[in-house]
Copies of this chain bind each other. A is one copy, B any other.
Amino acid sequence: THLAALGALDTAGLHLQGDVTVAATVGEEDGGLGALSTVLRGYRADAALITEPTRLALVTAQGGSLVFRLTVPGRAAHGALRDRGVSALEKFLPLHKELLAMERERNDAMDHPLYAGLSNKMPINVGVVRAGTWASTVPETLVAEGRLGFAPGEEIDEIQALTEARIAAAAARDPWLRNHPPTIEWFGGQFASAEVSADAPICTALGDAHEALAGTPVAIEGVPYGADMRHFIRFGGMPCVMYGAGDGNVCHAPDEFIPIDDLLTAAKTLAILLATWCGVAEAQVR
């Protein structure tokens, strides 16, 4: 989107009076080492814009997310005598229920206005489950890997402590798990949450550019997913927002797509934004 916008400005003979740095970063899905590296190498700007698929809404707040691995112990036995064993699958069920309850309660308690439109503001997704080795043996171990979302303003260590306390409390209610406690590991990407004020200059400028093109005010939203915003805001000290074509709702799913019309709209909005944000050399405007 950035390159299309810059290309359009160039084709139109417009020369920006400020520097625009486009960073094509890797690793966003698993922690954002590319964006972090960009910041650590010293790249700074008056504002940063990420073209995540926001359905052409201006995103000024992003939730954080953590990836966890829950290991639940059982005890193997012959399937025909399964009462002699302890099924790690069955022992996982109250812990899974606890995660769902935690998700529901936190959603009910969250009152951030930018998240009001979301059905699930801080999703806890159990994405992987692996248990047992053979149909006729009681499964001795279950490993569940999941993704846990949290709100702008919440910090990674407090969410980890809360989750560990919930799992420990659920385990304490079960006679087997009380004596054979499940373990939680935090692995993979750790996404802090981040937010910029909706009246920051980049927000106003992007809203104006969107409205100039679309004729209607831009929607301002928060998103429930972790993204690279936080690296620019928290480690780079730059205001950063997200605005882009495509719908996150079809991402990571079969047949994911971005409508070409939306892509063109996003590129045009960016071109207008860049022209007004940086200014253009008067003499070269056609």
Binding site for B on A (CB under 8 A): 29, 63, 65, 67-69, 75-85, 87, 89, 93, 96, 119-120, 123, 125-139, 142, 145-147, 149, 188, 223-226, 248-254
Contact = CB atoms under 8 A, between A and B. Distances in A.
Contacts of A128: 131-135, 139
A235 B43 CA distance: 79
A127 B89 CA distance: 8
A125 B147 contact: no
B80 A119 contact: no
A78, A145, A254 pick with most chain B CB within 10 angstroms: A78
Contacts of A69: 135
B132 A225 contact: no
A127 B133 contact: yes
A248 B81 CA distance: 8
Nearest to A130: B130
Given A63-B80, A137-B252, 11 more contacts: A75-B253, A78-B225, A80-B223, A80-B224, A80-B248, A83-B119, A85-B253, A87-B126, A128-B131, A129-B139, A130-B130
A78 B142 contact: no
- What secondary structure prevails in chain A residues at the interface with B? mixed
Given A136-B67, A146-B135, A147-B135, A82 B120 contact: yes
A226 to B, nearest CB: 7
Given A249-B84, A253-B77, A137 B129 contact: no
Nearest to A63: B80
A7 to B, nearest CB: 30
Nearest to A126: B89
A75 to B, nearest CB: 7
A79 B226 CA distance: 11
A27 to B, nearest CB: 14
Nearest to A125: B79
Contacts of A226: 80
B80 A135 contact: no
B253 A80 contact: no
Contact of A81 (B68, B83, B132, B224): B224
| Smallest CB-CB A-B distances: 8 pairs | A80-B225, A79-B125, A78-B252, A79-B147, A136-B147, A135-B145, A128-B132, A129-B131
Given A75-B253, A80-B65, A80-B149, A127 B123 contact: no
B89 A129 contact: yes
A86 to B, nearest CB: 11
A128 B67 CA distance: 23
28 contacts: A65-B80, A75-B253, A76-B254, A77-B252, A78-B225, A78-B251, A78-B253, A80-B149, A80-B225, A80-B226, A81-B120, A81-B123, A81-B225, A83-B119, A83-B123, A84-B253, A87-B126, A89-B96, A125-B135, A125-B138, A126-B132, A127-B134, A127-B138, A129-B130, A134-B145, A135-B188, A136-B147, A136-B252
